[in-house]
Chain A
Amino acid sequence: MMHRLWANPFFQVLVCALFGTASEVFLKLGAAETAHLPSALPWLGLTGLESKWIWVGIVLTVISFVSWMQAISVLPLSVAFTLSNMVHVLVPLSCWMFLGEAINATRWAGIALVVTGLIVIAKPFARIDERL
């Protein structure tokens, strides 16, 4: 049964989103840590590589990417990618929980809209699974 769950492309999208969220938080930590460092090409963000957090973020990005490739090898890109945008709920919430960034009313409204959109897209697929 675990193998069936692992092989499910929608589960892979979830795994991708979770690791993606974690990676974004670590990348921001690393970027904040290295923002003051001088660089010849500042907008490329290469000084970020001097931070341990960035490297953790990179590893998490790689794991997220592996599940992403699993997911899109089965699902159409438009479906997989749109669902993967659940990160837009997970990231602001994580920033609020772990980085102390504030979420105001407009942002909450945005999160609500994203969640609604995800439900609208995912519902037809849930029905298909139920019939099976």
Chain B
Amino acid sequence: MNAFTLILIVISLATFVAGQLLLKSSLNNAAAPPPGRWITSRRAGLFVAGILGMTISFFLNIGLLQKLDLSFLFPFQGLSVIIVTLCACVFLRERLTVPLVAGALLIAAGVMCVSASGG
């Protein structure tokens, strides 16, 4: 796995995390429409931006899949477990509980084992 592949994986991860955060924030109360309206431009904008991030990440993933083993490559998404959890705490002000952090670390460690064992 060379530097170029790594950069692509990083970009795919970053757009994925951004997409998830944007989708969640589009559903949060801060973006909720007032009674009588079914949607606001803020909610729609966040939703579209989230979809865009996920789409870019999706196609980058397919490109990477064409070159690498699925069960090796796929778990790189697992790094996003930690990143998404941290970013959700920082940007979306969600609570981090001990079981959640412990579980996230276990899952991230497991995912790294699975990806390290590949080729």
Residue among B66, B92, B103 making CB contact with A118, cutoff 8 Å? B103
Q: Specify the chain A residue showing the minimal Cβ separation from B91.
A: A77
Contact with B along A61-89 (1 / 0, CB 8 A): 10000000100110011110110010010
Q: Please pick, from B64, B85, B106, the residue contacting A81 in the complex, using a CB distance under 8 A.
A: B85
Interface size on B, residues (CB 8 A): 52
Q: List CB contacts (< 8 Å) of A105-132 with chain B.
A: 105-107, 109-124
Contact status B61-A106, CB under 8 Å? no
Q: Give the A-B contact count at a CB cut-off of 8 A.
A: 171
A13 adjacent to chain B (CB < 8 Å):
no
Q: Is the interface of B mostly helix, strand, loop or mixed?
A: helix
Closest beta carbon of chain B to A110's beta carbon, Å: 3
**With contact pairs A69-B23, A110-B75 given, residues A43 and B63 touching in the complex (Cβ less than 8 Å):** yes
Q: Are B94 and A76 in contact (CB under 8 A)?
A: yes
A sample of 6 inter-chain contacts (CB < 8 A) reads A32-B66, A69-B27, A78-B89, A96-B71, A107-B113, A107-B117
**Given contact pairs A81-B20, A88-B75, a sample of 11 additional A-B residue pairs in the complex whose CB atoms are under 8 Å apart:** A32-B66, A34-B66, A45-B59, A77-B20, A78-B84, A81-B81, A85-B107, A99-B70, A111-B114, A120-B102, A121-B102
